[in-house]
Amino acid sequence: MFLPENIDLAHSEEYSLSIRLAPDGFSFCIYSDTDPSVFHHQGTSLGNRLSPNDQIKKVIFDLGFFSQPFRKTSVTVVSPRYTLVPDAYYDRKRVRDLFQFNFHQPDGSVLVDSVQEGACHILFELNGELHAFLARNLWNPCFRHHTGSLLRLFHAYDKDPERKSCFADFHDQSVTLICFSGERLLAVNTFPAVNVHDTTFFIVSLWDKLQLDQSADSFFLSGDVTSHNASVEILQRLIRKVERVALHPRVMVEKELLQCLPTDTLATLCG
């Protein structure tokens, strides 16, 4: 595997490893929290020849370095199968029961991403066999959900404390919407973003349900916006204040690569 000259895996404890598990792809990046010149990103789609689990196992075994002792190892799971539980109702002993309020008979492991910024806990599902494999073969991994990374990022984003705001992140043929009233979290939802009119309907419906003002409240866009220009053009005719999220990851990377990275990955590099 090609790595930049300034990454020496004989000293893996100097770097952080971030893995992203998407519905149709596996990617990872190696970076340094102290040296912005240290960065490598690599990804692969999950083909049909092997099952997704077997394909991920094969990548990890073939590359052979994932079990090394990195400074920190995180696994971000991208999935619409999640639910948010406010602090007041969270009970770590009843995580599976809480998850089943929205998703009956979960097949895999139910994991938790606790988000202090939203005073909530994100309960999400990961295939049990894959979870056990990663827990065995990675160095003390921390499992996160993609909405947790986005929520932390957008909570800290510069927005009007007196108004409501909606963030729409386009990714993996989906759109994740996160809405705030000032600093208070109102809603987090992930919808399919395949059909232009369906995508527009999902977003407009949430604005209507949360009573966001189309003239005064802000609509922030991030992620693979270019692939959804048709939906964005419709929304710009309905919503007055529309702007792109400006991100400043602490790595020295070509602009073209940064534009290709998912927002939840960039959030890790901004933190």
Per the listing, tokens 């990851």 go with 249
Question: Which pLDDT band holds residue 1 (cuts at 50, 70, 90)?
Answer: low
Distances (CA, A) of 196 to 129, 177, 188, 238: 36, 16, 20, 15
User: What is the pLDDT, as a whole number, of residue 270?
Assistant: 87
User: What is the pLDDT, as a whole number, of residue 233?
Assistant: 97
User: What is the pLDDT, as a whole number, of residue 254?
Assistant: 84
The CA-based angle 20-21-22, given to 5 degrees, is 110
| Rounded Cα–Cα distance for residues 271 and 266 (Å) | 9
Tell me which CATH homologous superfamily contains domain 1-156+252-271.
Protein of unknown function DUF3822, N-terminal domain (3.30.420.250)
Mean pLDDT on 75-103: 94
pLDDT at 48 over 90: no
Among the residue ranges 44-48, 134-138, 234-238, 245-249, the one predicted with the least confidence is: 44-48
Q: What is the pLDDT of residues 203-218, one digit of tens each?
A: 999 999 999 999 999 9
| Rounded Cα–Cα distance for residues 248 and 269 (Å) | 8
| Rounded Cα–Cα distance for residues 166 and 154 (Å) | 9
Q: What angle, rounded to 10 degrees, do the helices at 196-209 and 229-238 form? A: 40
Burial category of 157 from C-beta neighbours within 10 Å (exposed 0-12, middle 13-18, buried 19 and up):
middle
User: What is the pLDDT, as a whole number, of residue 180?
Assistant: 97
User: What is the pLDDT, as a whole number, of residue 222?
Assistant: 98
User: What is the pLDDT, as a whole number, of residue 255?
Assistant: 84
| The 82-86 sheet, strands edge to edge | 82-86, 120-126, 109-115
Distances (CA, A) of 161 to 70, 199, 220: 38, 27, 15
User: What is the pLDDT, as a whole number, of residue 257?
Assistant: 85
CATH of domain 158-244: 3.30.420.260
pLDDT at 172 over 70: yes
User: What is the pLDDT, as a whole number, of residue 181?
Assistant: 96
Domain residue ranges of the chain, discontinuous segments joined by +: 1-156+252-271, 158-244
Q: What is the pLDDT of residues 22-33, one digit of tens each?
A: 998 999 999 999
